[in-house]
Structure 1
Amino acid sequence: MKMWNYALLVFLGGCSYGVVSTFVKLGYSEGFRLSEVTGSQYLFGSIMLWSIAIFVPKVRLKCKQWLTLTISGIPMGLTGIFYNQALSYINASFAIILLLQFTWISMILQYIFTKKAPDRKSLMSTVIILLGSVLASGFLESDIIFSFAGISWGMLAALSFAFFIFISGRTNIRVHPIYKSAIMTTGVSLLIFISMPPVFLINGALTNGLFMYGLLTGLFGSLVPPILFNIGMPKVGGNLGTILSASELPMAVIMSTIVLHETVTFFQWIGVVIILGGIAYPNVQGHKATYSIKKSE
């Protein structure tokens, strides 16, 4: 498979993440609650992942390793809860912008726990992302109504996602990525079911339409992205992969505009482009530097 094929897989993985918020909003419009939409998403995601995991190579894990993988998925579960909660207050296009604030929050966590200060390019990237967020949020538009609760839940989602990335990078357990994803998603499901009992399994919500939304959010949020990223990321590398996976932002905005009929102004689109530029900036610079070194060799 050629490099552009792997790049396309990563790009499509980001797009897959981007459509989830639209299905969550549609689920809310049908009268389903947070516990039903979120619980069904991770339940179906777990089922689909395990259905594929039985065909991949496995290693015998110790109880401690099982527990470590299960617990390491908790921040991912909290991200789902917080993000879906935010979607009940604010537009899908605004929610995804808040979630992407994990980029600079991750730098802060890195500094707090490792004492590793961000470099100049990372700081510049943060400034660009924050500037783009101001425009993309519609803050400068006088007719935009903001929800403090929605913004709070959205930022909590960004914080928990930053923790998920930080913890995932330090979980050195050699296991097939799909098998690992299945275990972690199962842990997420248990967390959600403990905090929000899965009453939807017995109250008839599944047969009244929730089944479709659970299947779609589980497919595009828990199954497709991990598989595409696990295939493409090792080939394209983390720098280019970060840029390509940012496709979730424009996809979420496009879906919310076309399907949910949310209004996105010209300045908000400019903000989206600036955010993508901020994400790409340090990675493009690093990619150029690496290319120059290889060329000189």
Structure 2
Amino acid sequence: MKAWHYAITVFLGGCCYGALSTFVKLAYSAGYSVTEVTGGQYLFGALLAWGLVLFTKRQKLTANQTFKLLFSGIPFGLTGVFYYQALQTLNASLAIIFLFQFVWIGTLVEWILYKKKPATGKVISIAILLVGSVLAASVVSDGGIALSWQGTVWALLSAFTFTTFIFLSSSVGKDTPPMLKSALLSTGGLIVVCFVFPPTFLFDLPVLMGVAPYGFLLGLFGVVLPPLFFSIGMPHIGPGLGTILASSELPVAVSMSSLILSEYVSLSQWIGVVLIIGGIVAGNIMHQRVLPQDHGG
């Protein structure tokens, strides 16, 4: 695979996350709680991931390798937990802005850990993404901003855990088949979610059957596919560019809310979407110029 192929897989992983907010809203409108929706997402996601593992090439892992991948799934699960906690006291627009800070946090951590000072082009790309995120999330057009320190802390924690997950995706289990890696990461996330949100709905058959369709969609787009795509692409492009590409989440979220939920999207929001896409393209172009071509193809 060429370098841009890996970039596309990470971009698609971000797109999958963008689809989640629409499915969550549909589940909430059907009367299901945060516990049922979150638990269903990770439960059905983990089951689906392990089901797909049966159709892929097997590879035996040591106990240490298995533990590392399960452990790496912890920030994956915590991101969802923290973000849902933030939504209890912050409106969705502000919460997603705080979560979106993973774009610059990833570059900063890469600079600190790997001594990779961000190029001017990458800094400009990040600035474009942040401006676009503010417009796309309609913070400006919505008028007043109501901050809650509890919600702010939870949302920023979700940004840090999401950044951590992206870094672990690029460094842990590089030689593990992507599908098996995705299954183990999702299992680690499921363990955390079940600890925070005990899955009592499992013992209520009507609720379990009702939440199943939403759990399947949320599990597919929020638990199975993102770790799979990140496992394929992140080790080859690095977490710095990875966080920029994963910002595709917000344009997809805005587009789906308009197309599927028929929610009003203002002109400023569409401008924000265009800016984010432009920032992603600019970041990838600068990356291609700075780094040599991938030798994988």
What is the TM-score normalised by the length of structure 2? Answer: 0.81
**Contact 1:18–1:248, Cα closer than 8 Å, also in 2:** yes
Q: What is aligned with 1:199?
A: 200
Which has the larger displacement, 198-207 or 64-73? 198-207
Distance 1:224 1:31 in 2: 26
**Contact 2:27–2:214, Cα closer than 8 Å, also in 1:** yes
Q: Compute the displacement of 1:177 (Å).
A: 0.9
Q: What is aligned with 1:266?
A: 267
Distance 2:52 2:233 in 1: 18
Which has the larger displacement, 92-101 or 35-44? 92-101
**Contact 1:13–1:245, Cα closer than 8 Å, also in 2:** yes
> Residues 33-60 of structure 1, C-alpha deviation per residue, up to 9 Å, x if partnerless?
2221111111111111111112322332
Q: Compute the displacement of 1:253 (Å).
A: 0.5
Q: 2:189 corresponds to which letter in structure 1?
A: V
Q: What is aligned with 1:70?
A: 70
Q: Alignment partner of 2:281: what SS?
A: helix
Change in Cα spacing, 1:279 to 1:146, as seen in structure 2 (3 Å) is farther
> Residues 198-226 of structure 1, C-alpha deviation per residue, up to 9 Å, x if partnerless?
10101345346211111110122223445
> Residues 117-166 of structure 1, C-alpha deviation per residue, up to 9 Å, x if partnerless?
32322222222222223323333325456453555543332221101112
Q: 2:163 corresponds to which letter in structure 1?
A: A
Q: What is aligned with 2:99?
A: 99
- Runs of 5+ consecutive residues of structure 1 not aligned to the other structure: none
**Contact 2:136–2:273, Cα closer than 8 Å, also in 1:** yes
Change in Cα spacing, 1:98 to 1:261, as seen in structure 2 (3 Å) is farther
**Contact 1:90–1:146, Cα closer than 8 Å, also in 2:** yes
Q: What is aligned with 2:122?
A: 122
Q: What is aligned with 1:255?
A: 256
> Residues 170-214 of structure 1, C-alpha deviation per residue, up to 9 Å, x if partnerless?
314521110111111111111111122110101345346211111
Change in Cα spacing, 1:95 to 1:54, as seen in structure 2 (3 Å) is same
Q: What is aligned with 2:133?
A: 133
Q: Alignment partner of 1:169: what SS?
A: helix
RMSD across aligned positions (CA): 3.6
Q: What is aligned with 1:81?
A: 81
What is the TM-score normalised by the length of structure 1? Answer: 0.81
> Residues 19-74 of structure 1, C-alpha deviation per residue, up to 9 Å, x if partnerless?
11111122222232222111111111111111111232233222222111111111
